[in-house]
Structure 1
Amino acid sequence: MNFKVTKVSSGVVKPAEPTPNPTLRLAWVDRYPTHRGLVESMHMYHAATNPAKVIRDALAKALVFFYPLAGHIVEPIPGEPAIECSAKGVYFVEAKANCSLEDAKYLERPLLIPKEELVPCPGSKEWEVEPHNTAIMMQVTTFACGGFVMGLRTNHAVADGMGAAQFIQAVGDMARGLAKPLVMPVWDREKFPDPKIKPNPLPELPILALDYAIIDFPIDYINKSKSQYMECTGKFCSTFDILTAKLWQCRTRALNLQPESTVKLSFFASVRHLLKLDKGYYGNSIFPVKLTAPSKKVLSSTLLEVVNFIQEAKKIMQLEFLDFAKEKIETDPFQMTFNYESVYVSDWSKIGFVDVDYGFEKPMLCSPLVNNDFIASVVILKAPPPLVGARLLASCVTKEHSMEFVSGMKIMD
């Protein structure tokens, strides 16, 4: 079958009511160079009645409260991007697919429909704002079965994952007939530290030709591992801790490095609790957690010991963040190493996308649409029904090491 997505309509959704028009300064972390780009994701739902209209109307209402997202990024001072609350609106596309979600294998990887057909990609005549200056774009693609996919592109400079999910939850609130979002947004970007540290230039990215794998972990394995950790240490650990520890060990083993070779693991952690930010804060509020160890140390340790390494790194991050906030460090803490010995992990399982309800029940699947051969990375998701547990989207090893990596990850004794 030749799968085809046809654009039914496209245009701009503006706030349903007049909104303020200030130019708002972004936080230091928002202005970080790597955050000036669009994060693409798909959000899949069962059959619904006229979802594009429902979401379009709800979007207009939500933008009254999240009016900065109806604006665009400007640089009144070079290197100091800000949001101009221009009420230009959000570029929105309604589309239809000539197949059912089942025909398209529920968009499991490899995608049978190119991701470019599932997210809004306006031409210059349709949308005058350059993509890297756009706050958010949306597309609703309805399938022959009645199910739909909401394709989302959000600018990381405006919101982190939790912030983007907060906005989409507000759209859901409006779609269900609420008068205002359950969580009211606050800007408050001045509450994030604004040190005089200058970000380092972006490094050159290697071409790694990474293989792609999907690995599901049943809830029984996750709970058993957590219980073992509690029995051994008397401490709680998260699903993220367990799966990231296993990932680091299995990947290190698959790479077959020299014992003294350095391997690195990095991820971003929320610092909302450290800053005591309002629940409605939707800007970036993250700080890197970095682990470095000789290959032999990662491999000679038990899984639970590697979990300990991760938990200790989280504690160190809190101290490093406080030093960053007090301007006690002079180097860029967000500087990363992009080589094959380094792996980066993102946790999408709890940021809030899976809770978005437009009145059609919650989504079957929420997943980033990332294809890159530059950064060895893994994304942790909530497993899609009927599975219960977690799913890893892994793009972190080359074909040469893929079989060893995947086979190791699937050992769940």
Structure 2
Amino acid sequence: MTSIPCQVAFSVVRKAPELIVPERSHATLSRQVKQLSDIDDQQGFRFQVPLIFFYKNNPSMKGKDPIKVIKEALSRTLVFYYPLAGRLREGFNRKLMVDCTDEGVLFTEADANLKLDQLGDHEIQPPSPYLDQLLHYDDPSIIDCPLMSFQFLKAMEEMAQGTEKPSLLPVWERQLLNARESPRVTCIHHEYYDDDDSTQDFLRAMDPNENLHKSFFFGPKEIQALRDHLPLDLKKSSTFELITACVWKCRTAALEIDPDEIVRVSCAVNARGKNYNMHLTPGYYGNALAYPAVCSKAHLLCENPLEYAVELVKEAKAKMSEEYIRSLADLMVIRGRPGPIFKGNMVVSDNSRIGFEEINFGWGKPVYGGLAGAVSFISFYVKYQKSDGEIGKLVPIWLPPSSMMRFEQELNKMITQSAL
């Protein structure tokens, strides 16, 4: 693995946070209370995921203040996405809803005495060692906090470039993913707890203090090395399936989990699109995700060749269907919003095709744009282009220090040795 260079010293001066409100008031709508769907309302979704974008200077934008451009675009975008200027509240039985208060989105301007070209790949790619300096964190709770979504960022890009309204107008319609009138769990959901301790376990799992945070790059060379481990009938497996199987196998070995313990991998699958017949209106900006999981005894995952893990990952993806989403919404209502299993579980979400790296506020595409890193046992795959032009996927991961060392050893063996 490439060694990480010494960090660059710089200082950051922050101004007082301010609230950016919609350009036009929604006085007649501002006190609406909009309920989230039962898919939105999962206990495992109650955390914030930071994004970070690095942009180069663009001579054609000389004289334009990026702060002014972004604030104005944000204010104009909130006219259409006005619920995001409101605040999350809890109703009966902790049901989440949005109080459309028009209070605004928190914005903090900051200046750093640092140029982008002083940073190398390791400082820009997630997890950037400068996150605490570059990003402003408030209360990690989601209650009473501003909201955000990717479609919202896409609309901001269009507004920053002068459009009058988003090309895809936002649609609320959260009732489309609520539980059925007669809730019934019809699928097996291995990714959720069966007891009442899930919330505390989940919150404890979010504490990064005892873990190391690193990213691992999978380019064409690494992907081919993984394919070389597979028999002929599996060589056409997707990049996602290969990376997920590899990381799951290496992570399980690195954690030295009891051989007979059940381990899981949960694959985030988007229910949008014609494959799942969910009838979601274009512009729907709620969660439409499920995390189908598959299980294995730890020793079977570690001792079998890579193809064993690849087959299980394929099985997890294949579980996704309209019925699976409906069953999941019903599960949230019947069992009182169970949290995800932490122990022995790895959750993966491929964000490499979302388009974060395309967001252009006028200064061109970002050098890097997207998730700032992993979140506890959740790894977000992101598209990344190295300074030498090589394109691949980065996989951020959190592990205890001793486990991280073993993970790197296991991964090196996997991508430098051919099994066939």
TM-score range for the pair, normalised by the shorter chain length:
0.7 to 0.9
Q: 1:168 aligns with which of 153, 160, 165?
A: 153
Q: Distance in 2 between matches of 1:264 and 1:389?
A: 25
8 Å contact kept, 1:269–1:288: yes
Q: Distance in 1 between matches of 2:222 and 2:127?
A: 26
Higher mean displacement: 294-303 or 198-207: 198-207
1:250 alignment partner in structure 2:
250
Structure 1 residues 208-234: Cα deviation after superposition (integer angstroms, max 9, x where no partner):
822332211113443675699795158
Q: Distance in 2 between matches of 1:39 and 1:309?
A: 27
8 Å contact kept, 2:42–2:339: no
Is 1:55 aligned to residue 70 of structure 2?
yes
8 Å contact kept, 1:24–1:83: yes
Q: Distance in 2 between matches of 1:85 and 1:231?
A: 55
- AA matched with 1:24: K
Q: Distance in 1 between matches of 2:317 and 2:48?
A: 27
How do residues 375-394 of structure 1 correspond to structure 2 at under 5 angstroms? 375-385=376-386, 386-394=389-397
How do residues 135-154 of structure 1 correspond to structure 2 at under 5 angstroms? 135-136=146-147, 154=148
Structure 1 residues 337-379: Cα deviation after superposition (integer angstroms, max 9, x where no partner):
222x33222322123322211122222213434576xx43433
- AA matched with 1:266: S
| C-alpha deviation, 1:169, in angstroms | 0.8
Q: Distance in 2 between matches of 1:358 and 1:229?
A: 43
Is 1:13 aligned to residue 33 of structure 2?
no
Q: Are residues 81 and 197 of structure 1, via their aligned partners in 2, closer, same or farther at CA, if it must alter by over 3 Å?
A: farther
Q: Are residues 63 and 258 of structure 1, via their aligned partners in 2, closer, same or farther at CA, if it must alter by over 3 Å?
A: closer
Is 1:188 aligned to residue 173 of structure 2?
yes
| C-alpha deviation, 1:178, in angstroms | 1.9
8 Å contact kept, 1:37–1:132: no
Q: Are residues 223 and 361 of structure 1, via their aligned partners in 2, closer, same or farther at CA, if it must alter by over 3 Å?
A: farther
Q: Distance in 1 between matches of 2:245 and 2:262?
A: 16
Identity across the alignment (%):
24
| C-alpha deviation, 1:257, in angstroms | 4.2
1:139 alignment partner in structure 2:
none
Q: Distance in 2 between matches of 1:7 and 1:267?
A: 38
Is 1:404 aligned to residue 420 of structure 2?
no
Q: Distance in 1 between matches of 2:326 and 2:184?
A: 14
How do residues 330-341 of structure 1 correspond to structure 2 at under 5 angstroms? 330-331=334-335, 335-339=339-343, 341=344
Q: Are residues 81 and 110 of structure 1, via their aligned partners in 2, closer, same or farther at CA, if it must alter by over 3 Å?
A: closer
Q: How many residues align?
A: 376
2:211 alignment partner in structure 1:
210
Gaps of 5+ in 2: 1-7, 186-192
How do residues 104-123 of structure 1 correspond to structure 2 at under 5 angstroms? 104-105=119-120, 106-108=123-125, 111-113=128-130, 115-121=131-137
- AA matched with 1:265: V
8 Å contact kept, 1:349–1:380: yes
8 Å contact kept, 1:289–1:317: yes
SS of the equivalent of 2:22 reads coil
8 Å contact kept, 1:3–1:112: no
Alignment root-mean-square deviation, CA: 3.3
8 Å contact kept, 1:197–1:331: no
| C-alpha deviation, 1:186, in angstroms | 0.5
| C-alpha deviation, 1:391, in angstroms | 0.9
Structure 1 residues 63-89: Cα deviation after superposition (integer angstroms, max 9, x where no partner):
111111111123454522211222111
Q: Distance in 2 between matches of 1:287 and 1:110?
A: 25
1:357 alignment partner in structure 2:
360
Is 1:320 aligned to residue 327 of structure 2?
no
Compute the TM-score of the two structures, normalised by the length of structure 2. 0.78
8 Å contact kept, 2:267–2:316: no
8 Å contact kept, 2:373–2:380: no
Q: Distance in 1 between matches of 2:213 and 2:91?
A: 41
Q: Distance in 2 between matches of 1:232 and 1:346?
A: 25
- AA matched with 1:290: A
SS of the equivalent of 2:169 reads coil
Q: Distance in 1 between matches of 2:381 and 2:173?
A: 29
Higher mean displacement: 285-294 or 225-234: 225-234
Compute the TM-score of the two structures, normalised by the length of structure 1. 0.79
Q: Distance in 1 between matches of 2:246 and 2:302?
A: 10
Is 1:293 aligned to residue 296 of structure 2?
yes
8 Å contact kept, 1:210–1:376: no
SS of the equivalent of 2:50 reads strand
Is 1:283 aligned to residue 268 of structure 2?
no
| C-alpha deviation, 1:97, in angstroms | 0.3
Detail structure 1 runs of 4+ shifted over 6 Å in the superposition: 226-230, 326-329
1:143 alignment partner in structure 2:
none
Structure (1/2) with the larger strand percentage: 1
Which of the pair has the greater relative contact order for Cα pairs under 8 Å at 6+ separation?
Answer: 2
- AA matched with 1:402: M
SS of the equivalent of 1:185 reads coil
Q: Are residues 109 and 72 of structure 1, via their aligned partners in 2, closer, same or farther at CA, if it must alter by over 3 Å?
A: closer
Q: 2:145 aligns with which of 127, 134, 152?
A: 134
Structure 1 residues 286-332: Cα deviation after superposition (integer angstroms, max 9, x where no partner):
11211210123213433234222111122224353343457799557
| C-alpha deviation, 1:171, in angstroms | 0.2
1:262 alignment partner in structure 2:
262
8 Å contact kept, 1:26–1:189: yes
Q: 1:68 aligns with which of 77, 83, 88?
A: 83
How do residues 215-254 of structure 1 correspond to structure 2 at under 5 angstroms? 215-222=216-223, 231-233=232-234, 237-254=237-254
Q: Are residues 326 and 377 of structure 1, via their aligned partners in 2, closer, same or farther at CA, if it must alter by over 3 Å?
A: closer
| C-alpha deviation, 1:36, in angstroms | 3.2
| C-alpha deviation, 1:52, in angstroms | 1.4
1:35 alignment partner in structure 2:
45
